[in-house]
Amino acid sequence: MMLLEEHKKSTRPVRLRQPHFPAFIEFDNSSYQRRYELFCTRLVRERLYDAACLIVSPSERGADGEYNEPLEELAFSTFISSLQGKLTEARRRLPSE
């Protein structure tokens, strides 16, 4: 689960710097938010993670519960459903008393 501040600095395109190793070409000229979207969806689609969640929230209204989910695939409800399924599966595997 990732929470990103919804701010002009996180939503505008950023140049790609590669001082140590090459980065994915999709990251070039993408905002930080878009990079998080790409990263999280890749983790799920390549089955490295069962689910991921990305929420963006403005700092001045986030404490009041204001947030956005930029991609349905990375929505909180999807993440929680996956987590619930894993917990149910783990509970079934516990020995009966």
Q: Which amino acid is at 38?
A: L
pLDDT in tens, the chain (97 residues): 999 999 999 999 988 887 888 888 888 889 999 999 999 999 999 999 999 999 999 998 888 888 999 999 999 999 999 999 999 999 999 987 6
- pTM score: 0.82
